[in-house]
Amino acid sequence: MKILIVDDEKLARARLRELILQIGGGHSVAGEAINGSDAIEKTMKLRPEVLLMDIRMPVMDGLEAAMHLMSMESPPSVIFTTAYDEHALDAFEVNAVDYLLKPIRRDRLAAALQKARNVSLRQLRMINEARDEPSVRTHISVQLRGKISLIPVHEVLYFMADSKYVTVRTAGERHLIEDSLVNLEDEFGERFLRVHRNALVAADYVSGIEKQPSGRWQIVFRDVNDRLDVSRRHTAAVRRWARR
């Protein structure tokens, strides 16, 4: 079984590598990654069957990385490694997601590798929501030619819903993702403003609003020529926001 070790601490990675060597039994280390973003890149390249992944890491944590990886056609199994206390791990046990509590013992690692299984996006979201401080994604993942492309959330100008897809608009590109505006608004509500039942705009990229001859208002952006209609239902709230 090919394993990718993901941890921002060099000693922790070395410890896991040594334990896997001791366990043997057909297990091998395919590579190492130092954070969630690096783990996604290495997974695309090395195609490991299992990720041994720490949760708390800089740049991108393990839970977010796992959420992005679930969009793969054949995602790897994930076993989380963590220094959380037992109480904080209740959500992992309730949602039947494998984890190893640091310091990791060889027999516990061997048992986890024996029963390594895939997790679902729903399981990961429920675990995140159960945290004392649920994390907000730093990136949006997009499938491009069978690979995962990461778009930093701070580069998104707006989200627009169309049927079962949502368009993610950046200054230079448009991408389609399978998500809902409700989920995106719940997660990124502080950064984005609802202007229509089918649109959320990034407040930082809005240069103003303009009234059209029809009486409707439109959002004007700083970096692109796109214009988005403001629905009658949201006009009052958007105008109040624009006057701040």
Tens of pLDDT, residue by residue over 50-67, are 999 999 999 999 999 999
Amino acid type, 158: Y
Which pLDDT belongs to residue 164?
Answer: 85
C-alpha angle 159-182-219 in degrees, rounded to nearest 5: 35
Which pLDDT belongs to residue 193?
Answer: 95
- Phi, psi dihedral angles at 22 (to 5 degrees): -65, -40
Reference 193, options 152, 221, 223; nearest CA is: 221
Q: Is 115 a residue whose pLDDT tops 70? A: yes
Q: Are 76 and 104 in contact (CB under 8 A)?
A: no
User: Do 2-130 and 139-242 fold alike per CATH?
Assistant: no
Average pLDDT over residues 167-189: 93
Average pLDDT over residues 127-131: 85
Which pLDDT belongs to residue 85?
Answer: 60
- Phi, psi dihedral angles at 229 (to 5 degrees): -70, 145
Which pLDDT belongs to residue 86?
Answer: 59
CATH fold of the domain at 2-130? Rossmann fold (3.40.50)
Q: Is 27 a residue whose pLDDT tops 90? A: yes
Token pair for residue 151? 């778009």
Tens of pLDDT, residue by residue over 68-111, are 999 888 899 999 998 876 556 777 887 878 899 899 999 999 99
Which pLDDT belongs to residue 130?
Answer: 83
In the chain, domain spans: 2-130, 139-242
Reference 5, options 39, 52, 40, 43; nearest CA is: 52
CA-CA-CA-CA torsion sign (135, 139, 142, 146): negative
Q: Is 236 a residue whose pLDDT tops 70? A: yes
Give the best-scoring range by mean pLDDT among 14-18, 72-76, 178-182.
14-18
CATH fold of the domain at 139-242? OB fold (Dihydrolipoamide Acetyltransferase, E2P) (2.40.50)
CA-CA-CA-CA torsion sign (45, 46, 49, 52): negative
